[in-house]
């Protein structure tokens, strides 16, 4: 699973991150930078030529332009920026999700007996049900809808990444016959034959590898089960909300926070395994 900071990172959907992105946008916008450069020039001119009518007007004019540029970009254009920002996040996640899901589906065809095969189907149903409920409760143009849609989509993508990791781990150990190897080790231990020591060490390493990968696989499967459960709980929270009900909005926001926490744990575990 990728852990690079990117537009598709689940944290980018939090109100704090959106405000930070808006701040950076306003700070780096050409209109503000131009006005700020004019203000700095006016300050330098004042320090050289002193405060007179020309430098005073230049200072006031450039300061006013800087303030107006900031107000325009940070406050007046905030809604337009936030809409574009979230749409960009969603598009990036949607593209990644489609690519990874298609690739994963092909891999899981050969693992139909594996638990992860069913998880993908259930995850997709839960995700689509949540989005359907969002469509019923919110206008698609609302910022709230777009933010919640993005969070849910990121959780879904994270679960797909978990399943991809599981498939790779399963491929690495599927050839290991754990029961037969353990039986062989037990037999060699009973014989207590020094000539079998090297073989026993090799088999022991192999069985340890198998168990370590199974621990990782089971942990990721459990994470996905938590995601499935929370997607369902969030759908219920959304279904119970009244748009004008403050308490209902809090419940829905808390459900979304729990979805983020699940994704956060998944990212942290992935980083530790690298």
Give the chain's mean pLDDT: 83
Tell me the pLDDT tens digit for each residue of 62-71.
999 999 999 9
Burial readout 63-94 (b: 16 or more C-beta within 10 A, e: otherwise): bebbeebbeebbeebbeebbeebbeebbebbe
Please state, in angstroms and as integers, the Cα–Cα distance from residue 55 to each residue in 15, 33, 40, 68, 179, following that order. 41, 20, 12, 20, 87
Q: What is the pLDDT of residue 240?
A: 84
Q: In this predicted model, which residue has the larger pLDDT, 175 or 230? A: 230
* All residues at 6 or more sequence positions from 65 whose CB lies less than 8 Å from its CB, including other chains: 35, 38, 39
Q: Which of 45-49, 110-114, 155-159, 241-245 has the highest mean pLDDT?
A: 45-49
Q: What mean pLDDT comes out for the span 100-106?
A: 83
Q: Which of 2-6, 73-77, 97-101 has the highest mean pLDDT?
A: 73-77
Q: Can you say whether residue 50 is alpha, beta or left, with left for phi > 0 and alpha for psi between -120 and 50 degrees?
A: left
Q: What is the pLDDT of residue 25?
A: 94
User: pTM of the full predicted structure?
Assistant: 0.68
Q: What pLDDT band is residue 6 in, cutting at 50, 70 and 90?
A: very low
Q: Which candidate, 249, 172, 152, places its Cα nearest to that of 216? A: 172
Q: What is the pLDDT of residue 190?
A: 85
In percent, how much of the chain has pLDDT > 90? 35
How open is the CA angle 147-133-220, to the nearest 5 degrees? 70
Question: CA 214 to CA 208: how far, in whole Å?
Answer: 10
Q: What pLDDT band is residue 40 in, cutting at 50, 70 and 90?
A: very high
Q: Which of 1-5, 184-188, 256-260 has the lowest mean pLDDT?
A: 1-5
Q: What is the pLDDT of residue 143?
A: 78
Q: Using only the alpha carbons of the chain, give its radius of gyration.
A: 28
* All residues at 6 or more sequence positions from 123 whose CB lies less than 8 Å from its CB, including other chains: 156, 159, 160, 224, 227, 228, 231
Q: Which of 24-38, 214-228, 260-274 has the lowest mean pLDDT?
A: 260-274
Tell me the pLDDT tens digit for each residue of 107-160.
877 776 677 778 888 999 999 999 999 989 888 878 788 888 888 888 888 889
**Is residue 228 over pLDDT 70?**
yes
Q: Which of 1-5, 26-30, 93-97, 249-253 has the highest mean pLDDT?
A: 26-30
């Amino acid at each position: 699973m990728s852990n690079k900071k990117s537009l598709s990172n689940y944290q980018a959907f939090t109100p704090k991150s959106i405000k930070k992105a808006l701040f950076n946008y306003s700070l780096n916008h050409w209109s503000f930078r131009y006005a700020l450069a004019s203000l700095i020039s006016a300050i330098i001119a004042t320090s050289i030529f002193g405060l007179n009518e020309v430098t005073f007007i230049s200072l006031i004019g450039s300061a006013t332009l800087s303030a107006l540029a900031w107000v325009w970009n940070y406050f007046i254009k905030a809604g337009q920026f936030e809409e574009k920002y979230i749409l960009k996040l969603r598009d990036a996640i949607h593209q990644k999700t489609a690519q990874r899901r298609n690739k994963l589906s092909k891999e899981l065809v050969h693992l139909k007996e594996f638990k992860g095969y069913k998880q993908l189907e259930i995850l997709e149903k839960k995700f689509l049900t949540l989005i359907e409920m969002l469509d019923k409760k919110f206008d698609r143009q609302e910022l709230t809808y777009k933010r919640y849609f993005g969070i849910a989509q990121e959780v879904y993508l994270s679960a797909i990444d978990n399943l991809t990791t599981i498939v790779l781990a399963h491929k690495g150990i599927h050839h290991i016959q754990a029961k037969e190897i353990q039986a062989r080790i037990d037999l060699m231990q009973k014989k207590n034959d020094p000539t079998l020591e090297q073989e026993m060490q090799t088999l022991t390493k192999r069985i340890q590898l198998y168990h370590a990968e199974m621990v990782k696989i089971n942990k990721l499967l459990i994470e996905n089960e938590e995601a499935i459960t929370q997607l369902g709980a969030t759908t219920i929270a959304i279904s119970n909300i009244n748009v004008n009900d403050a308490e209902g909005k809090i419940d829905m926001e808390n459900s979304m926070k729990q979805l983020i926490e699940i994704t956060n744990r998944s990212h942290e575990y992935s980083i530790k395994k690298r």
